[in-house]
Structure formats: C-alpha cells, structure tokens
Amino acid sequence: MPIRGLLFDVDDTLFDSGSEAASVLAYLRMRGLLDRFGDSAAALGLWRELKERHYARFLNGELTFAAQQRERTRELLARIGTSTEGGLSDQEASAWFAGYQTHRHATRAPFPDAEPALRKLAPGFRLGVVSNSSTDHQRRKLDGIGLLPYFGDRLICSDQHGAAKPAASIFLAGCTALGLQPHEVAYIGDNYETDAVGAHRAGLHGFWLDRANTNAAGVDTGVRVIHSLDELQAALT
C-alpha cells in the first residue's frame, strides 16, 4: 500500500534552530549579562547544558513545559551570580524567559526547503506533526514561520500525549490524527534514533533527514535517508 500521509518533526527538520545561538547571545547582551561569561562559547555552552538537562526532565514528565523554562532561567542566573539569594520567584523566572522568547520569535525562520516541499506535497498527502514539546509552543512556532496552515490541528506533542518519541504510542497517535494506518505513513525527522528508528519500530516508514550529510549512524535496514526536504517527494515513490 502506498504512503498516503506524512508526519514531521519540527526542530531542525522544518524549523532552523541554528539561529538559536545568535538569539541567546543577543538576549544576554541586551540584559547586560554577556560579559559575565568568559566568552560567547562559554555562554552558549552553559545555555545548552541547562536546556538539555531541564528539557529532559520535561520529556520524562518530571517538569511541565513552563517549569523547565523557569528552572533553566534560575540555574543560569544563579551560576553567573546575578540572582538574589533563594533564587527567582516563578513569576520573575517566567518573565525573564518570556523576554528571551519574544526576542527569539523576531528571528525565527524555517529552513528554506521546508515551505516549498510542503506546498508540493500538500495536494497528494495528509500532513501532520509529531514533536517532543508543548503543543501550544509548537503551534505558535509553526504559525510564526508560516507553516501552520499545512498541518491545521494535526499536531501531536509529547506534553498532551503523555509520552515522548521514540515511544511507539506517540507515532501511532500521529497516524490516528491523519486517519491512516502506520504502514501508510512516513515520519521525517533529523534525529536518527529518536525520529527515524523510533518511527520505523512503530511500524511507520522512517525517514532520516541527514542535513549535514554525516551518514554516521550506519543506517538500519528499513530507515530511508534524505539530505534535504527537496528530496522527499522522489523518495516517497
């Protein structure tokens, strides 16, 4: 049976989070905090360390999406010695992070191949999103970069679903949102294990978007590799 539906990862697949570094540095500079770090690399290193650690706590259900943002803010400011004793209140931490997000939204961008690929694929396939994130957050992001109309309300995110990729259940929920069986659906994502292998194990067609052309993972049988979304339509047939 042919592929009739496509589910996409968002970050680093449709949305270029590479612009995050510039946003982080600009926000820290604007807040007068950048000179607290040895250099830009140290600032980005700490930002990424805290994001990775506290986002993992969100993904395993320990923290809400908003709470991981507050924890990152509290620890960042404590580590550079600017927060008051006892740390920031929830309100202060949320306000600080909201300032960053406002700044970030202004510089958001999709990958140049994302919109043209979706426009080409939309007439022939049902399209949706499966993401390890908050539904509201990803809806706003996709709206901000102009891609939301391609997906409508077919956004399955781990916060509402209750489990994160590579759990099979979240891929299957995506298929249900499209009204299709797993073998009729392809999943496209930039993370080999979490996206492509996870989808493949759940019974979908797993496509690994290897933008950096690393091919490093030693691709499993059953996982297809593309290097750009421009290649997707041809790879589906």
Does 20 interact with Mg ion (rule: CB under 5 A)?
Answer: no
Tell me the C-alpha distance between 68 and 133, whole Å.
Answer: 11
Neighbours of 186 (CB within 10 A): 20
Strand partners, 128: 7
Does 11 interact with Mg ion (rule: CB under 5 A)?
Answer: yes
Smallest gap, in angstroms, from Cβ of residue 209 to Mg ion? 8
The torsion angles phi and psi of 230, rounded to 5 degrees, stand at -60, -25
Instruction: Give the residue with the Cβ less far from Mg ion, 77 or 117.
Output: 117
Q: CA 11, 65, 169, 14: dihedral to nearest 10 degrees? A: -10
Instruction: Give the residue with the Cβ less far from Mg ion, 13 or 83.
Output: 13
Q: Which of 5, 6, 9, 20 binds Mg ion (CB under 5 A)?
A: 9
Q: Using CB under 5 A, which of the segments 2-10, 39-47, 133-141, 215-223 binds Mg ion?
A: 2-10
Smallest gap, in angstroms, from Cβ of residue 88 to Mg ion? 29
Neighbours of 164 (CB within 10 A): 22
- The mark string for 173-202 relative to Mg ion (x by CB under 5 A, - otherwise) is -----------------x------------
89: alpha, beta or left? (left if phi > 0; alpha if psi -120 to 50): beta
Which residues are near Mg ion by CB under 5 A? 9, 11-12, 190
